[in-house]
Amino acid sequence: MGDFASLLYGFSICLSPGNLFFCFIGVLLGTLVGVLPGIGPVGAISILLPATFHMQPIGAIIMLSGVYYGSMYGGSTTSILVRIPGEASSVVTCLDGYEMARKGRAGPALGMAAFGSFIAGTLGLIGLMFLSVPLAAFALRFGPPEYFAVVLLGLTTITYLTHGSKMKGFIMGIFGLILSSVGIDPIEGSARLSFDLLELWDGIDLVPLAMGLFGISEILLNSEEFVRPSVIKSKIKIKSLFPTLADWVQAKGAILRGSILGFFLGVLPGGGAVISSFVSYGIEKKISKEPEKFGKGAIEGLVGPESANNSATAGAFIPLFTLGIPANVVMALLFGAFVIHGLRPGPFLIQDHPDLFWGVVSSMYVGNVMLLLLNLPLIPLWVQILKVPAVVLNPIVLVVCMVGAFSLKNSVFDMLLMTIFGILGYLLRKFEFEIAPLILAFVLGPILESNLRQSLLLSQGDMSIFLTRPISAITMALVLVILLNSLFPVLKRVLRSKKPKE
Amino acid sequence: MNVADLVIGLFWLAVSVLVGTEAYRSGIGSLGSPGPGLISFWASIALGVVSLIFVAKAFAAGKPVSLPDVWRGKAWKRSISISLLLILYVIFFEILGFIFSTFLLTWLTMSFIDKSRFWFRAGVAGCTAVSGYVLFHVWLNVQLPRGLLSF
């Protein structure tokens, strides 16, 4: 089946009333969490995971994917109108988007962000469609050593790309690995790290872990500071949302550059929407003939990052669909959703479940159109929703998290586990530890472990198996380069401090 | 000395010792026949090494940082109150039942966050408990506990 025929097949699946409904709910909820500062796509997806238990796998993945790319659209609204990024990848949008709004150009800023996101999202999907199939075919050549090396590369890159201290990122990655090995050993069948607690024999579930670390900790942090956003009071009419021809001429290059850059950064482990939006802003400023306009309402500074973060969401699906390796924390949660529904993302996914792959890909086209139609007329509504006080919103999120954890196995132990992880997440974030490497290591841990043990069994304990096969050797070399690169500044600092002062 | 980093380092060191011991008990095996504790054992060693670097850095830090600095200027009593409330919610969830315990959780959380009007808090708490029951129990078939009060 050619790509076009496969896409048509995908449309026949995603346009069924049920899947269309879940796509709509996904993008609507995504826009909502993008609009509301605090709860980002990670928190929303982790909270929604239990709700998908009773759904069909295709509907569940369509909905959760919709939340992810929908949040990218929603995030720009708060950044432009309130200067509060609804989620992390919209931080850069505040710089020029808010300035445009202050100058009375809120309408074109919102419109341009939505159109740029739509174009980039669509271009990203085309890339996803054409790259996934050949990459999945290539991944069929992978054996346990290659998988181990690729997962190790993913973990190293993610830890390397943490925003704060590398050492803290490293600790989070190791802790995630440790948590992933709790429970019955899949090969020997003996309990490990269960500390004689029967409830831990099944291991720790992703749902209470993610909901605790992201959802509960967010509420605890939010409760400490109360910020009432001040919304720009100019009335926004749909007519005023359409950018002028001059705006389009000015923005077209930035949209295209942002789309391409975002897509490729999205594919890389640890890349994703946040980094691509920052890189895009930097590039636009660097190549601009008027860099002094950036930060004062430059349209390129708005649409470049907005296009990049939307295109990155499509790119991030590639490693998940083709290698079964999540590139970022949202993909790790989607990986969890696949596993909950008895599916295994990876090279066989397209071959064994073409309905799911093509259904989800085509739902993204439909979702992008829905978002465009939904976002422009509903902007006044999103602005009103922003006024819902945290005092009402926070307890509701707490209840949803608690019941979500309970519904997993009708077990109060999972609620307790989630509360403990919530408090731990709060403390970790207080001390500037990033949660993302922990979740990714938790999801990748079992893949890493089983492939390492299989490789060692195959080679009868000979570690050179990772260096004698070309793909794993190249990948291991990349891991080494990243590790040395992160150690280099530390060594430089140590050597400098040992130099006698003149 | 950076007390915050020292506490962090010692905490992770304790975790690494605990995990390392338990992993060793599970069996590390050999390279040719890896045991169930292999990954967690080596992970605990790595965690221990990084923790020790943290402790060393904390002692070497020029600028003194105390632990309470992290909470300075924040309404930290709220987060502690809500944490305790969540633990109590878990303990009393099955005893009091979903509706009553959820009403109390929502009402008390709102009271900790903001001193809004009594009837407003009670109204939001009531709506949350009832709509939560309809959503999870009636629509999603989650078997929520009825508790002592039988609802």
CB contact under 8 A, B132 and A398: no
Per-residue confidence (pLDDT) for residue A245, from 0 to 100: 87
Per-residue confidence (pLDDT) for residue B107, from 0 to 100: 92
- The end-to-end CA distance of chain A, in Å, is 73
Give pLDDT tens digits along chain B (151 positions): 778 888 889 999 999 999 999 999 888 888 888 888 888 999 999 999 999 988 888 888 766 767 667 777 777 888 999 999 999 999 999 999 999 999 999 999 988 887 778 888 899 999 999 998 888 888 777 788 888 766 5
Q: Which two tokens stand for residue A140?
A: 């069929």
Nearest to B48 by CA among B3, B9, B6: B9
CB contact under 8 A, A452 and B39: yes
Per-residue confidence (pLDDT) for residue A37, from 0 to 100: 65
- Residues whose CB is less than 8 angstroms from the CB of residue A65 and which lie 6 or more positions away in sequence, other chains included: A26, A317, A334, A360, A363, A364, A367
B chain contacts of residue A199, beta-carbon cutoff 8 Å: none
What ipTM score was computed for the predicted complex, to two decimals? 0.92
Which of B90, B127, B131 should one mutate to test binding to chain A, selecting the residue with the greatest count of A CBs within 10 A? B90
Taking CB atoms and an 8 Å cut-off, how many pairs form between chains A and B? 171
B chain contacts of residue A396, beta-carbon cutoff 8 Å: 106, 128
Half-sphere exposure of A388 (CA within 13 A, CB side): 16
CB contact under 8 A, A389 and B12: no
> Residues A111-144: pLDDT tens digits?
888 888 889 988 988 888 888 888 888 888 888 9
CB contact under 8 A, B71 and A423: no
| Count of residues in chain A | 502
Which ranges of A211-244 would DSSP assign to H, the alpha helix?
Answer: 217-224
Chain B residue at shortest CA distance from A52: B140
Q: Which two tokens stand for residue A197?
A: 């607690």
Output the 3-class SS for A91-151.
Answer: HHHHHHHHHHHHCCCHHHHHHHHHHHHHHHHHHHHHHHHHHHHHHHHHHCCCCHHHHHHHH
Separation between Cα atoms, residue B90 and residue B109, nearest integer Å? 14
**What torsion, rounded to 10 degrees, do the Cα atoms B68, B71, B76, B79 define?**
-110
Separation between Cα atoms, residue A93 and residue A277, nearest integer Å? 8
Per-residue confidence (pLDDT) for residue A256, from 0 to 100: 93
Separation between Cα atoms, residue B32 and residue B68, nearest integer Å? 49
> Residues B96-136: pLDDT tens digits?
999 999 999 999 998 888 777 888 889 999 999 999 888 88
Give pLDDT tens digits along chain A (502 positions): 567 788 888 899 989 999 999 999 999 988 888 877 666 788 788 878 887 877 889 999 999 999 988 888 887 887 787 676 666 677 788 888 888 888 878 888 888 888 888 899 889 888 888 888 888 888 888 889 998 998 888 888 777 766 678 888 889 999 999 999 999 887 888 888 888 888 888 889 888 898 888 888 888 988 887 555 555 555 555 556 678 888 888 888 999 999 998 888 888 776 677 778 888 888 888 888 888 888 888 899 999 999 998 898 888 888 888 888 888 888 888 998 898 888 888 888 888 898 999 999 999 999 989 988 877 777 777 767 766 777 888 888 888 888 888 887 888 999 999 999 999 999 998 888 888 889 888 988 888 888 898 899 888 888 899 999 998 999 999 989 888 887 777 677 767 766 655 4
CB contact under 8 A, A171 and B47: yes
Q: Are B126 and B103 in contact (CB under 8 A)?
A: yes
Chain B residue at shortest CA distance from A430: B70
Nearest to A489 by CA among A271, A166, A161: A166
B chain contacts of residue A174, beta-carbon cutoff 8 Å: 43, 46-47, 50
What Å distances lie between residue A438 and A177, A363, A374, A482, B39, CA to CA? 8, 30, 35, 19, 15
User: Strand, coil or helix: what is B65?
Assistant: strand
Separation between Cα atoms, residue B127 and residue A261, nearest integer Å? 46
CB contact under 8 A, B106 and A395: yes
For residue B149, the distance in angstroms to the closest alpha carbon of chain A comes to 19
Annotated domain spans of chain A: 3-496
Per-residue confidence (pLDDT) for residue A114, from 0 to 100: 86
Per-residue confidence (pLDDT) for residue A499, from 0 to 100: 61
> Residues A460-471: pLDDT tens digits?
888 899 999 998
Chain A residue at shortest CA distance from B76: A224
